């Protein structure tokens, strides 16, 4: 789904001076596509649109999974082999 930079900034709470350099780095690394709006309403200039590439979606999903796993209390996780060694 294509998103405007301003909309992204509002959703994640970053100002333009922080957001746009991040968006450009993500684009340069092949994680984000960027294009100009093709048919802006009359009287308004075209805006840049952004969306994740396949690689960007994969990395975002992987990162989200890692974040959720890291945030899960150890008592709520099933121990991995070897995690209980030395716990007694």
pTM surpassing 0.85?
A: no
The whole-chain average pLDDT of the chain stands at 84
Chain-centroid distance, C-alpha 31: 9
Q: Where are the domains of the chain?
A: 1-38
User: Does the pLDDT at position 48 exceed 50?
Assistant: yes
User: How would residue 80 be classed by pLDDT, with cut points 50, 70 and 90?
Assistant: low
Residue with tokens 């030395």: 86
């Amino acid at each position: 789904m294509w998103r405007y930079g301003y909309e992204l900034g509002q959703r994640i709470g970053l100002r333009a001076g922080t957001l746009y350099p991040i968006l450009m780095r993500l684009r340069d690394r092949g994680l984000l596509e960027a294009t100009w709006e093709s048919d802006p309403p009359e009287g308004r200039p075209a805006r840049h649109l952004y969306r994740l590439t396949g690689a960007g979606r994969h990395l975002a999903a992987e990162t989200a999974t890692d974040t959720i796993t890291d945030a899960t209390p150890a008592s709520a996780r099933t121990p991995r082999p070897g995690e209980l060694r030395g716990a007694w």
